[in-house]
Amino acid sequence: MSYRNIAIDAISKMTGYDPYLPKSEAMVLAYAEALQYARLNDRDEVLQGVRLMYELHGDPGWKPTPKALVRAIRDVRNGSPSQEAIGDGVERVTYAEFRRRHPDVEFPATPGRKVPDA
């Protein structure tokens, strides 16, 4: 399978995660070039990389890049800790990071308990 076809499959899967992702021939060529340069031509690894990339970075407003995909594919290939960290599907963030991402969320008051600032 050609790098171009693998890139098309990867972008198609990305569209499943982000239906508003713009698609163009230039985008296909950029992803194909990145995959070719990194010598990543296993379609299944690439699609697993797409899944991992969105598990790790799929916050609203985040947009994928060829570099992020290559890094995720290498993580899949190497069985990196970042892949193990998402095994249960729950991302753990600090309270400060949660507040940064969701400044408008209000928590109900719990008598006798205080949420730490950091």
| Domain spans in the chain, listed from the N-terminal domain onward | 3-101
pLDDT digits (tens, 9 = 90+) for 37-58: 999 999 999 999 999 999 888 7
76-113 residue pLDDT tens? 888 765 544 444 455 666 777 777 877 777 666 555 55
Q: CA-CA distance, 81 to 19, in Å (whole number)?
A: 29
End-to-end CA gap in the chain: 49
Residue 56 Cα to chain centre, angstroms: 5
Cβ distance 53 to 27 under 8 Å? Answer: no
Q: Which residues contact 54 (CB under 8 A, 6 or more apart)?
A: 14, 17, 18, 64
- pTM across the whole model: 0.66
